[in-house]
Structure 1
Amino acid sequence: MRFGMTIRLLGITLLASIASAQLAPAPEGWPNFWYKGHVTNKATFEYNPTNEFIFPSIFHAGEYLDDPLGEWYLYYAPHENPGGISLVYSDSLEGPWKEYSNNPVIANKWDSYYSVPHVSSPDASWNSDAGRMFLYFHGDNTQTRWAESSNGVDFRYGGVAVNNQMSGSNTTESSYARVFAHPNPASKFNYAMFYMANEKDNRRKIRLAESVDGRKWTVDSDYVVQPGGPEGTDVSGANYWTWNGQAGKGEDVGRVAAPDIASSGGNTYLFYESGDRLGATIAWAKMQKHFQPH
């Protein structure tokens, strides 16, 4: 099925039906993703406190974990209270996906560490220095935390990665983080993070934080992305991806949001949240074959 509008994202294009301002066309040769279906099922999932699921994060469990539940893990969460970091797993990026039986794997209350209205926006990545998965999440919106795990299901609390104070007194939110290996080989840092920072003017921007170990972070003083034109007053959910040597960053536009990308078996897949802000679900799309990297 082909939808009617093109959304630019990190050197790719996603065809989807949204109602937002027209964007400039993507450069020639940028790949297209085609909608294939939903990952989450609101009618059947046991953990569904708010009837909305956001911010998918794909993790290749079979590459890093011993005896995983499936080859691929996908983390997601409701956003409204109480939130809760949840997991589905599959042996294929095309599904079928099975809901983990004991969701949420991270709740909005954790022993003496914190008690917040909600936790959400999970982002899972392998920390090669620690030899463990690090999962970043916000809770509440004023700070992004992390937890560590050797199996992707049982977590040990890590701490606060970034908070409002780290980017100045004007900041009111520090959330929706994506973490990746630092793309600059000359950098003294090993890890980088894009995250959303809201400010007192209620304009959400993308900031950069950097880290040597994935635990202690330094926030850059400059914005990475500021909203303007088609984005309106807010940008959020930035991610990083390279395509044929080109690198860029993408942010939420309209109501397909929070993209995460994975490749397997010569195919490349896009996972994202789809739907209205408080009723979203997790969907997936597949790159057109003639755009696949050689």
Structure 2
Amino acid sequence: MQEPQSGPDRRMFLRATAATGAALTLGGLSTQSASAVAPGGFPDYTYVRTLLTPSQLKYNPTGEIIFPTVRGVYDKLASPLGRYYLYYAPHDAPGGICLAYGNSLEGPFTEYPANPIVSNKWDSHYSVSHVSSPHVLWKEDVKEFWLYFHGENTTTRLARSKDGIHFTYDKVVLNTSMMPAGTTETSYARVFRHDLPERGASYVMLFMTNNTTDHRDIGWGWSADARTWTFAQTPLVRHSDVGAINVGGPHLLTRNGSAYVVYNKDKTSGGDIMITEVGKDFSLRKHLGVFYDSRSSAPENGRAAAPSFGTDGGVPYMIYEAGERLKGAIAVARG
């Protein structure tokens, strides 16, 4: 049997040979594989099901949803709506930060009846065309859920909550004025607990940045408290580094003492999820290729993006955008 070089056929080949105990020849070396793996030794994720489809949602102002973030809340709240909270949003105006809840990462998830939980107008704090791209961090030291979201695309904001549903506005944490001249977008931010002792930091922010060339890159920053940030003035991953028109939707993963950034690579149509090793101290730039190869069939239709990760019963899962941008759904893959 000839080994496919990439894509779903390769993943099926690796699983089949592992199941039968067949020896694989990779790079001229013969090895016995226990299971298929992605670059960096991460699980090789396989699509399971679609979790949320816009047409089935009560709050559906624009017929599209993006940027899922999943959080286990069963060990953080006394009486949660479900074991897991799934945050997402439409992007186009008016957007709106939304919540669904469920007892398994494979679903089903139930739409929170009072969506959006954060809208594009908030008292005296802001009035913008849209809010979107929710990322929720559990802030252990204060026992709060910290929500990072954008609106407009120039500005990333922070809101805080004790229950993960009702949020209090805090502040702007990032906008284009904090980046080099010519920056036009600073959005789609995710924040992670990650120690950078040489920078006096305990948190890292990854985000999408754009400028007058209209090619999107991955930016990053660091913070001691996840509220006040210092931002690198050069991209962490440039679109040109990986042969893309745009890169975005970054997420931080760690394994075996190193750190990795996974992100979507958008071409003229569709795109896969890529991975770059940045090292524990973010000094490395090792582009490892495709992390998740999107399928040509529905719901992905050649595009996977904006991954969020969780573990349920010891099984790793990836929840992500599946399908053409602003026309897709939220799906789950299992590792």
How far apart are residue 182 of structure 1 and its match?
A: 1.8
| Match 1:201 to one of 213, 238, 247 | 213
Tell whether the 8 Å contact from 1:76 to 1:86 is kept in structure 2 after alignment.
yes
Separation in 2, partners of 1:169, 1:30: 37
1:43 counterpart SS class: helix
Equivalent position amino acid for 1:282 in 2: I
How far apart are residue 283 of structure 1 and its match?
A: 0.5
Residue 217 in structure 1 maps to residue 219 in structure 2: no
Per-residue CA deviation, residues 86-140 of structure 1 (Å, 9 max, x unaligned), is 0000111111110001000000111111011110000001112332110000001
RMSD of aligned Cα (Å): 1.8
Separation in 1, partners of 2:117, 2:75: 21
The 5 Å alignment of 1:138-153 reads 138-153=150-165
| Match 1:115 to one of 116, 123, 127 | 127
1:228 counterpart SS class: helix
1:63 counterpart SS class: coil
The 5 Å alignment of 1:1-16 reads 5=7
Residue 275 in structure 1 maps to residue 287 in structure 2: no
Tell me the equivalent position of 1:265: 313
Tell whether the 8 Å contact from 2:309 to 2:317 is kept in structure 1 after alignment.
yes
Q: 1:245 to 1:211 in 2, by over 3 A?
A: closer
Separation in 2, partners of 1:204, 1:246: 25
- The alignment of Structure 1 onto Structure 2 pairs a total of residues equal to 266
Tell whether the 8 Å contact from 2:248 to 2:264 is kept in structure 1 after alignment.
yes
How far apart are residue 186 of structure 1 and its match?
A: 4.7
Residue 176 in structure 1 maps to residue 182 in structure 2: no
The 5 Å alignment of 1:1-294 reads 5=7, 27=39, 29-228=41-240, 231-253=243-265, 254=271, 255-287=303-335
Tell whether the 8 Å contact from 1:66 to 1:151 is kept in structure 2 after alignment.
no
Tell whether the 8 Å contact from 2:304 to 2:322 is kept in structure 1 after alignment.
yes
Question: TM-score normalized by structure 2?
Answer: 0.76
Separation in 2, partners of 1:79, 1:231: 26
Where does structure 2 lack aligned partners over 5 or more consecutive residues?
1-5, 9-36, 266-270, 272-302
Where does structure 1 lack aligned partners over 5 or more consecutive residues?
7-24, 288-294
How far apart are residue 63 of structure 1 and its match?
A: 2.0
Q: 1:108 to 1:231 in 2, by over 3 A?
A: farther
Per-residue CA deviation, residues 25-45 of structure 1 (Å, 9 max, x unaligned), is 954854211101111132321
Separation in 2, partners of 1:108, 1:149: 18
Separation in 1, partners of 2:197, 2:70: 24
Tell whether the 8 Å contact from 2:53 to 2:328 is kept in structure 1 after alignment.
no
Q: 1:201 to 1:139 in 2, by over 3 A?
A: same
Q: Percent identity?
A: 44
How far apart are residue 280 of structure 1 and its match?
A: 1.8
Per-residue CA deviation, residues 38-64 of structure 1 (Å, 9 max, x unaligned), is 111323210011111100001111122
Tell whether the 8 Å contact from 2:96 to 2:117 is kept in structure 1 after alignment.
yes
Q: 1:264 to 1:235 in 2, by over 3 A?
A: same
Q: 1:209 to 1:42 in 2, by over 3 A?
A: same
The higher-RCO structure (CA 8 Å, 6+ apart) is: 1
2:200 counterpart SS class: coil
Question: TM-score normalized by structure 1?
Answer: 0.86
Tell whether the 8 Å contact from 1:148 to 1:158 is kept in structure 2 after alignment.
yes
Structure label with greater radius of gyration: 2
How far apart are residue 68 of structure 1 and its match?
A: 1.1
Separation in 1, partners of 2:161, 2:259: 30
Q: 1:116 to 1:231 in 2, by over 3 A?
A: farther
Separation in 2, partners of 1:226, 1:54: 22
Per-residue CA deviation, residues 2-27 of structure 1 (Å, 9 max, x unaligned), is xx726xxxxxxxxxxxxxxxxxx954
Q: 1:252 to 1:231 in 2, by over 3 A?
A: farther
2:177 counterpart SS class: helix
Equivalent position amino acid for 1:236 in 2: G
- Structure whose residues are more often helix by fraction: 2
Tell me the equivalent position of 1:20: none
Separation in 1, partners of 2:39, 2:147: 34
